[in-house]
Chain A
């Protein structure tokens, strides 16, 4: 089955700096890679995703890049703000039609933005 590794496990940055979180996956057939943000005591919130036919996707201060050959993808947050502090999870899945969309998650990165 799919295995997703996520690094680093903790990350502290100064407000205004950039943060980068990296993930690798094992199943070359995986084609959908979402990122979730989970604040303490709250539900995981989908913040951005990318499909295997796209190399990069950007949404305001966040961006995700995908390298299919190397089987890794990364989350980039620019101009970090204290409200970006949370645990971030990457995930991978083989999404297709009406088939199973089993998300395999990384272990998470705790991001702390220091004012």
Chain B
């Protein structure tokens, strides 16, 4: 069984730029959720993807968008980067529709916006 993987590990971008982060879900999982974790805080829910569609969204602006692919992997895109977007971005995979609610996190992508 393979775990959740994310790429890249670290990223430095300039304010106003765009960024794409990637996540591969754990084997057998069909749902991917994205979270933003600011330094010293708990993760905050951005959105979730199930069956290639957005299936729930947190309090984040539309410049945060995502995709899910047929193999259940997912991308998080952030446009018009702001300094406050600097954070650890975590994805978590789970298996919807099975009665199991457990979410397993990837190692995260550390994004720094300068």
- Say if A and B assemble together: yes
Q: In the complex, are the beta carbons of B97 and A97 less than 8 A apart?
A: yes
Smallest beta-carbon distance B106→chain A, Å: 6
- Indicate which residue in B48, B58, B90 contacts A101 across the interface (CB closer than 8 Å): B48
Interface size on B, residues (CB 8 A): 30
* Nearest A-chain residue to B3, judged by Cβ: A43
Smallest beta-carbon distance B38→chain A, Å: 10
Interface string of A36-50 (1 = CB under 8 A from B): 100000111110010
CA of A107 to CA of B99, assembled, Å: 27
Query: Which among B42, B45, B99 has the highest number of chain A CB atoms within 10 Å?
Result: B42
List residues of B (64-111) whose CB comes within 8 Å of A's CBs: 90, 92, 94, 96-97, 99, 101-108
Q: In the complex, are the beta carbons of B103 and A103 less than 8 A apart?
A: yes
- Whether, in the assembled complex, B31 has its beta carbon less than 8 Å from a beta carbon of chain A, the answer is yes
Interface size on A, residues (CB 8 A): 27
* Nearest B-chain residue to A95, judged by Cβ: B101
Smallest beta-carbon distance A102→chain B, Å: 5
Smallest beta-carbon distance A108→chain B, Å: 5
List residues of B (40-56) whose CB comes within 8 Å of A's CBs: 40-45, 48, 50-51, 55-56
Smallest beta-carbon distance A115→chain B, Å: 25
Residues in A neighbouring B35, C-beta threshold 8 A: 103
Residues in B neighbouring A95, C-beta threshold 8 A: 101
- Whether, in the assembled complex, B33 has its beta carbon less than 8 Å from a beta carbon of chain A, the answer is yes
